Amino acid sequence: MTKRALTLVLFFLVTISLCKATHNRAGEITYKWISGTTYEVTVTTYTKEDSQADRCELTIYFGDGDSCIAGRTNGDKSLSCAPYGMGVSLGNNIRMNTYTCSHQFPGPGNYCISMEDPNRNGGVINIPNSINTVFFIRTCLIINPFLGTGNNSSPVLLNPPIDNGCTGRCFYHNPGAYDPDGDSLSFKLVACLEAGGSPILGYRLPNISAAGTVTGSLTLDPLTGDIAWCNPVQIGEYNIAILIEEWRNGYLIGNVERDMQITVTACSNTPPDFFPLNDTCVEAGTLVTFPVTAYDIDKNNVTLTAVGGPLSPFVVIPKATFATGFGGDTISSTFSWNTICSHVRKQPYIVSFKAKDDAANIPLVNFKTINITVVAPSPKNVTATPSGSSMIVNWTANICSGVAGYKIYRKDSCSNWQHGPCDKGVSALSGYTLIGTSTTTSFVDNNNGEGLIHGIDYSYIVVTVFNDGSESFASAKACSKLIKDVPIITNVDVFTTNTSTGRIMIKWIKPVADPLNLDTLLYPGPYQYRLMRTTGFFGTTFSQIVTFSSPYFGSLNDTSYLDTLLNTSNTPYKYRIDFYTNDTNNTQNVFKGSTHNASSVYLSIAPADNKLVLSWEEYVPWKNTRYVIYKYNTGTSVFDSLTETSLKTYTDTGLINGRQYCYKVKSIGAYSDPGIPSPLINYSEEKCASPDDKQAPCAPKLDIAGDCDLVYNYLKWTNPNNSGCGTDDVVRYKIYYTPVENTPFQLLDSTALYNSTDTSYLHNNITSIAGCYVVTAIDSFNNESVNSNVICIDNCPLYELPNVFTPDGDGRNDHFKPLPYKFVKDIDIKIYDRWGLIVFETNDPNIRWDGRSKDSKLPCSDGTYYYTCIVNEIRVAGIKPRTLKGFLQLINSKGNPASQ
């Protein structure tokens, strides 16, 4: 080759090398919604400044079959890249490049936007042959109007994906991600990608050596994105990939995959650290401010900066302030943010603080990430105004925009509950119950049409709900109670128990006659009480049983009535009092209102073995907190107090079956209004019953041992009286058996009559041990338990045939027959001569072939015969065939068998 030719070849090779020079260190793709299905897509790459493969343009693929050639948009204009920018130098041989294209997607769908470029920079330790590996980054966009994602912008990453670490020191990083739409973000580590978006073959995490050894820990906080690598071992460059997923209302709506490079060198300094910082919540309209302090134990100067949604004017206005701090080894700066209504959103704002030292060899950094949640102000000026049996709740409209409505909560006492500093809405532990919603600033609480109860202190709080689902802090409480403009029922007390002459005393208190309750000028007399009654707890048809009238309120003094001729033995009764007045138009019998319904206390008794189970129920507007159970004393002929409980059930034990016992229950309760007399005492009817053992005992636990040789099964089981399960009167057992599994059991034996301690049984005198067993326990009242555990046991069938017999009439071995056998029902044997003709067949398991041909009845000649035998064995699963095949020698005389 001539010298000139060699020069041309070298020039050509150098040109190819320059065109494919490696340069890509890190990068990501983000997008911003413009309108409709149009988005602005930005590719950001970080490259080596000294590489010859600088990209003035890059191709962006939109995932819908379309692409664009995007020019570099950042940096000064350059003749070599005209009309595009030349990127921005970050120092340390790093150039930041941005490329932007707008694109209209065809409609709803999932689109993965990507960019690939030859090649990565060489020498990346955890990427094999990185110098020849294509650099590939990808971001996925989901356009789904049903998820409300048609106008979504991707997260923005504020901290560059290039950082330094030291061997033997923890490395820290945070991508500084925020979401402009307030969506929730999660973070996880994934594999770096190569051409076509495939994971790089042989890629490994930085803390995994080429030999697969784990060298230190590498963690990523899935909620904050904080990365910690403790501790790098080998000097060099490493790449990791962080997948930032975006969630809305529990649905994944997109992701950004960032490819990041970490340069590890040898150095002796330690990263800076922070004084403790905590997440915080603030009500919109107030100032959130707190100091941030970082320090360096190596006494290097520290630079303190911050990024995050509140610090960006593109996210919030007004934005937060945080002055960059620089100075000595300890530096502080103040984060300050005047929050307003537009800052309210469901997800917190993420703020990432970065501390960087100025170590002479390799500066190191540390990050502290916190969440700031801006909560809508609580509804103000909540009031609760009684109106009849309802409460009208009003409040002032929330000053923030985007209000979807309000939630109204109620508690049946004037509660002192206060929400915590970050508790949005109402905690389930508060004792408040959601009773309704409203799109206005008013709500009428009538207890779902049943009316509220007089004498109860009601407490209300209100919460604002916004269009994105976020909730405000709970309002201050508003307490109120219904006015006493109608009677209040206080007693429904059973005086006499009888099926036809029972009596119940009903009592009530009068309305309060004053301008704040019953205004007797607006509602003059005559006045009237109408006592109404229905049968049972759930009766709806009330009958008027008595009327009390008076022309003047002062003389309306009837506040009790003894109701008679009732069947109090077998049913409860429910009452209410309707109140009627006149009015200023002299219209008589104007219905003013009613008491709440109130029932008698009704006792039920369930007999059991040596005990009685008492339970009772009542439906009353006051709250019963205690119950006293009384038991009739036959010696003194009075009811004695037996016990007190807050429950509505009691079990009286240690009783004698068949003997009658009588009881009644006293309820003790009150309204929450201290102006109503208390305690309220009411008795149930008297109820008698006798203990009766209808409860079956517990089932025994069965075990079995079988013996195939002696042909018996030995059953043994536990005594339920000793099991601690409540059984104490088992007197005998029943044993059930079936010879074939999955078939009905039959009673085998009723053992140990009145001897519960005999818990074993020998099943012998049987031809087969195959079978299934269960045992039940019988108590002294002939109650039978459920079956014990089922145990099945199988035979060990035996059937073998000899290989020679001598039918020579000497009385020894004259018949071909089996060796001693067991558990065989029958057989099907066929014996063939050497030409395949059947000379003998039978179904008798004893066979007893005498050596004669079945057709000619003549003795067969000496020789070898072949047989097939189907043995039908008796098994627990039924009759199961087993096939035997073999040869036998027939010998009629002494010596060798004759040839055939």
Is 829:841 a contact under the CB 8 Å cutoff? yes
Q: Which amino acid is at 351?
A: V
Question: Which tops the pLDDT comparison, 470 or 256?
Answer: 256
Rounded Cα distance, 264 and 245, in Å: 28
Give 896's pLDDT tier (boundaries 50, 70, 90): very low
Q: Which amino acid is at 868?
A: T
Rounded Cα distance, 762 and 590, in Å: 86
Which residues is 504 bridged to in the sheet?
Answer: 494, 563
How many residues are recorded in the chain?
A: 900
Rounded Cα distance, 30 and 40, in Å: 9
Tell me the average pLDDT across 77-93.
Answer: 88
Q: Which amino acid is at 59?
A: T
Encode pLDDT of 396-415 as tens digits.
Answer: 998 888 899 999 999 988 88
Is 317:311 a contact under the CB 8 Å cutoff? no
The closest alpha carbon to 684, from 659, 702, 666, 662, belongs to 666
pTM above threshold 0.85? no
Non-local CB neighbours of 276 within 8 Å, separated by 6+ positions: none
Which percentage of the chain shows pLDDT scores above 90? Answer: 70
Which residues is 188 bridged to in the sheet?
Answer: 243
Rounded Cα distance, 730 and 755, in Å: 8
pLDDT at 22: 67
Rounded Cα distance, 271 and 365, in Å: 5
The closest alpha carbon to 721, from 760, 759, 691, belongs to 759
Rounded Cα distance, 77 and 85, in Å: 4
pLDDT at 322 over 50: yes
pLDDT at 29 over 90: yes
Give 758's pLDDT tier (boundaries 50, 70, 90): confident
Q: Which amino acid is at 690?
A: S
Structure tokens at 458: 């009601």
pLDDT at 296 over 80: yes
Query: How many CA within 13 A on the CB side of residue 810?
Result: 9
Which residues is 352 bridged to in the sheet?
Answer: 307, 369
Give 82's pLDDT tier (boundaries 50, 70, 90): confident
Tell me the average pLDDT across 268-280.
Answer: 92
Rounded Cα distance, 249 and 424, in Å: 17
Give φ, ψ of 227 to 5 degrees: -110, 135
pLDDT at 895: 43
Between the CA of residue 666 and those of 366, 493, 630, 649, 684, what are the distances in Å?
Answer: 70, 9, 8, 13, 6
Give 755's pLDDT tier (boundaries 50, 70, 90): low
Residue 200 has what DSSP assignment? P
Encode pLDDT of 350-368 as tens digits.
Answer: 899 999 999 887 889 999 9
Q: What is the CA radius of gyration of the chain?
A: 47
Task: Report which secondary-structure segment, H or E, holds 5.
Answer: helix 3-19
Characterize the bridge pairing of strands 280-283 and 365-375.
parallel
Which residues is 100 bridged to in the sheet?
Answer: 42
Is 735:773 a contact under the CB 8 Å cutoff? yes
* 3-class DSSP string for 646-685: CCCEEEEECCCCCCCEEEEEEEEEECCCCCCCCCEEEECC
Is the dihedral angle over the CA atoms 391, 397, 398, 401 positive or is it negative? Answer: positive
The closest alpha carbon to 847, from 881, 884, 875, belongs to 884
Burial of 439 (0-12, 13-18, 19+ CB in 10 A): exposed
Residue 360 has what DSSP assignment? S
Q: Tokens 């009958």 appear where?
A: 543
Tell me the average pLDDT across 538-565.
Answer: 94
Which percentage of the chain shows pLDDT scores above 70? Answer: 95
Angle, CA 471 vertex, CA 468 and CA 476 arms, to 5°: 160
Strand order in the sheet with 649-653: 602-608, 611-617, 649-653
Give 161's pLDDT tier (boundaries 50, 70, 90): very high
Q: What is the mean pLDDT of the chain?
A: 90
pLDDT at 826 over 60: yes
pLDDT at 898 over 50: no
Tell me the average pLDDT across 438-457.
Answer: 88
pLDDT at 900: 35
Encode pLDDT of 593-625 as tens digits.
Answer: 888 899 999 999 999 888 999 999 999 999 999
Give φ, ψ of 296 to 5 degrees: -125, 120
pLDDT at 10 over 70: no
Total Cβ atoms within 10 A of residue 781? 15
pLDDT at 14 over 60: no
Longest Cα–Cα distance of the chain, Å, equals 140
Give 257's pLDDT tier (boundaries 50, 70, 90): very high
pLDDT at 875: 92
Give φ, ψ of 558 to 5 degrees: -75, 115
- CA–chain centroid gap for 453, Å, is 37
Tell me the average pLDDT across 697-708.
Answer: 93
- Across 467-619, the runs of DSSP E, i.e. the strands, are 478-480, 488-496, 502-509, 527-535, 543-550, 560-566, 573-581, 590-594, 598-599, 602-608, 611-617
Give φ, ψ of 490 to 5 degrees: -125, -25
Is the dihedral angle over the CA atoms 607, 609, 612, 617 positive or is it negative? Answer: negative
The closest alpha carbon to 432, from 469, 462, 399, 453, belongs to 462
pLDDT at 587: 67
Rounded Cα distance, 503 and 569, in Å: 10
Residue 16 has what DSSP assignment? H
Rounded Cα distance, 531 and 794, in Å: 76
Is the dihedral angle over the CA atoms 373, 376, 381, 387 positive or is it negative? Answer: negative
Q: Tokens 């689902």 appear where?
A: 469
Angle, CA 422 vertex, CA 420 and CA 425 arms, to 5°: 80
Per DSSP, the chain holds a count of helices (H) and strands (E) of 1, 61
- CA–chain centroid gap for 25, Å, is 43
